[in-house]
Amino acid sequence: MSTTHVVDGIDETLTPLQGRPPLNVVYEWLTTVDHKKIGLMYIAYALIFLIVAGVEATLMRIQLAIPNNHFVSPQVFNQLFTMHGTTMVFFVGMPILFGFGNYLVPLMIGARDMAFPRLNAFSFWISAFAGVLLYFSYVGASGLYAAGSAPDVGWFAYAPLTAKVFSPGHSTDYWTLAVFLSGIGSIGTALNIVTTIICMRCKGMKMSRMPLLVWLYLVMASLVFVAVSPLTAAQIMLTFDRYIGSHFFDTQAGGSAVLWMHFFWIFGHPEVYVLVLPAFAFVNEIVPVFSRKAIFGYPAMVAASVGIAFISLSVWAHHMFTVGMGAAANTFFVFATMVISVPTGIKIFNWLATIWGGHVIFRTPMIFCVAFLFQFLVAGLTGIMLSVAPFDWQLGNSYFVVAHFHYVLVGAILTALFGAFYYWYPKITGRMMSETLGKWHFWLFIIGFHLTFDFMHVPGLLGMPRRIYTYEAGRGWEGWNIIVGIGAIFQAAGTLCFVYNLIESYFKGKEAGPDPWDAWTLEWSTTSPPPDYNYAVLPAVRSRRPLWDLKHPDDPDSDYE
């Protein structure tokens, strides 16, 4: 170990990677409790599964390119869409967002780590194990050729298809157990995030002075608490049904299929807000910096975020409009779902107003956020269409819904995530990502995204249901499915550019320094990368933008808040 070397309160003793024995490095990462390393492991893990689930999607698109195709068997196709959905939600979406939260939240509140570092590590490792467990099911009992016992019940695993009689063997149990374990990891991380934010803010950082990213992670983590529990309970009940003879969802013995749907969607709907709130968080940080203006309407943004979280707990049965709940229930859920569009709209208008009157700089983080704004707007509007229950009676469970939620997941969340990568990569690694490669990534990905998901709406309008391994010719769906498939190629190309950029910039990127973007939140006040302890001296703040105050001492934010 080299001796410590501190200059002007900044630790210069970061040991270079090359000098250390590989086994030491591996051991350090395996046993770390440092929020930054755990965050990076979450992110790397999620990126690997992103590629895997992307391959699953590509295989599905090839199978669906022409009617009555025989590229994969129906059994394999059904496993593919189940694994694709389950992987993307639980082993890409959750880990990558927890990863960014883990890395950024302590830095942005001026803390040295999360409140419970060992719980943090445990949560990561149990989630990681859960993903491996799910994928072990492919191997299962029948060898490696993807025809093992991977679950094939859909990512929402409706009862009674999941009953032992309709899903014999253990494929469903892999799904149940993997998601259950991932839920435990999620609760651990959520607990950490909430406690850290409430208890470990630096001096002067009242809740009304926290960066919006921190607010959004607080709300997201609270939502995780409420949402994951019903799913966990339902999975335990399902396992009891399958193994010890209970009949919660066993309709053959008087159980209720609709009960599973309620349990699942009380989790499922807040879950999608859990996924989207961090995307809002990234946009809230990036757009002001690249418009050179403070965020417009900070209090309204906080209120809207909290409001969205609360309302999201009351809309779940808009996934069940076709189930036969009756006119009164349908009407209630229409109302609740429409109401949520009001705070969501407020957020979009606030972003627009932030840009308005600014000096917009189109570097890579910003162009991804611009794409986010347009795409999230469209996604929200198709959501409004789906909230109209009678319209949902046609559009529900069709490719229109698939297009809608991919518009949110890919067009809004993944796009904002890409922006976040480009924005915080310099902080994490000390080097800038390539702008040129970034623009290639952007255009390839956006073109692919729109080819796939814009045109995917049309087969839905023409009556194509989801989760079908093939379809009849003559229904007018063929051409659209081919275009959708071509978009996948562009998205893959864009993602390859991105991964290459990530790796190449680590070794060859321009040195970033502590604050390459001229930003205003606390993480930009420490070195890039930050030392293990984040801040040599814990900061004290007087406004929402402490670095603005430092850079503009004659016109600080604290005069206006």
Partner 1 sequence: MFLSPGRKKTVHCVGGSNSNWALRAVACSFALLVNRIDAQSPTNIFAPAATPAHSIFNLSMLVFGVTLVIFLVVAGLLLYALIRYRHRPENSNHEPAQIYGSNQIELSWTVIPILIVVVLFLSTTRVILGTQAIPEPDSAMNVTVIGHQFWWEYRYPQSGVVTANELHIPTSDPAHPTPTYLTMSSADVAHSFWVPRLAGKTDVIPNKINTMWIDPAQAGLYLGQCAQYCGTQHAKMLLRVYAQSPADFAAWINQQEQPAVQDFAGNAAAAEGQVVFMRNACINCHAIKGTVATGRFGPDLTHLASRDTLASGAVENTAENLRKWIDNPNSIKPGSLMPSMHLNNHDLDVITAYLTQLR
- Is 168 a residue that touches partner 1 (CB under 8 A)? no
Q: Which of 44, 48, 342, 503 binds partner 1 (CB under 8 A)?
A: 342
Rounded Cα distance, 87 and 131, in Å: 8
Both tokens assigned to 383: 């959501």
- Beta strands 6-7 and 10-11, pairing class: antiparallel
Q: What is the Cα 405 distance to its own chain's centre? A: 12
- Is 116 a residue that touches partner 1 (CB under 8 A)? no
- Is 226 a residue that touches partner 1 (CB under 8 A)? no
Give whichever of 100 and 263 is closer to partner 1, judged by the CB atom. 263
Least separation in angstroms between CB 145 and partner 1: 16
Kindly indicate which of the ranges 124-132, 156-164, 424-432, 481-489 contains the residues binding partner 1, using the contact rule CB under 8 A. Answer: 156-164
Total chain residues near partner 1 (CB under 8 A) = 100
- Considering only residues 268 through 307, tell me which ones interact with partner 1, judged by CB under 8 A: 291-294, 296-300
Give whichever of 183 and 307 is closer to partner 1, judged by the CB atom. 307
- Is 466 a residue that touches partner 1 (CB under 8 A)? yes
Kindly indicate which of the ranges 141-149, 207-215, 376-384, 494-502 contains the residues binding partner 1, using the contact rule CB under 8 A. Answer: 376-384
- Considering only residues 35 through 64, tell me which ones interact with partner 1, judged by CB under 8 A: none
Q: Which of 177, 258, 437, 447 binds partner 1 (CB under 8 A)?
A: 258
Q: What x-and-dash track marks residues 312-341 binding partner 1 by CB under 8 A? A: ----------xxx-xx--xx--xx--xx-x
Instruction: Tell me the Cα Rg of the chain.
Output: 24
Rounded alpha-carbon distances, angstroms, from residue 34 to 110, 118, 119, 128, 532: 15, 9, 11, 17, 7
Give whichever of 424 and 471 is closer to partner 1, judged by the CB atom. 471
- Is 349 a residue that touches partner 1 (CB under 8 A)? yes
Q: Which of 188, 230, 255, 509 binds partner 1 (CB under 8 A)?
A: 255
Beta pairing partners, 465: 398
Give whichever of 258 and 496 is closer to partner 1, judged by the CB atom. 258
Kindly indicate which of the ranges 87-95, 237-245, 378-386, 493-501 contains the residues binding partner 1, using the contact rule CB under 8 A. Answer: 378-386
Q: Are 231 and 198 in contact (CB under 8 A)?
A: no
Rounded Cα distance, 312 and 271, in Å: 9
Give whichever of 60 and 274 is closer to partner 1, judged by the CB atom. 60
- Considering only residues 486 through 545, tell me which ones interact with partner 1, judged by CB under 8 A: none
Q: What is the Cα 531 distance to its own chain's centre? A: 27
- Is 435 a residue that touches partner 1 (CB under 8 A)? no
Q: At 153, phi and psi to the nearest 5?
A: -105, 10
- Residues 6 or more apart whose CB falls under 8 angstroms from that of 24 comprise none
Q: What x-and-dash track marks residues 66-85 binding partner 1 by CB under 8 A? A: -------xxx--x-------
Q: Which of 27, 29, 166, 533 binds partner 1 (CB under 8 A)?
A: 166
Rounded alpha-carbon distances, angstroms, from residue 379 to 98, 170, 285, 429: 23, 37, 21, 33
- Is 405 a residue that touches partner 1 (CB under 8 A)? no
Q: In the block, which residue shows the tokens 């082993």?
A: 91
Least separation in angstroms between CB 18 and partner 1: 39
Rounded Cα distance, 351 and 560, in Å: 20
Give whichever of 515 and 561 is closer to partner 1, judged by the CB atom. 561
Cα–Cα nearest to 217, from 356, 100, 371: 100
In the 3-class helix/strand/coil scheme, how is 42-67 assigned residue by residue?
A: HHHHHHHHHHHHHHHHHHHHHHHCCC
Rounded Cα distance, 454 and 381, in Å: 13
- Is 482 a residue that touches partner 1 (CB under 8 A)? no
Q: Which of 469, 498, 517, 535 binds partner 1 (CB under 8 A)?
A: 469
Rounded Cα distance, 270 and 264, in Å: 10
Q: How many CB atoms are located within 10 Å of the residue 238 CB?
A: 27
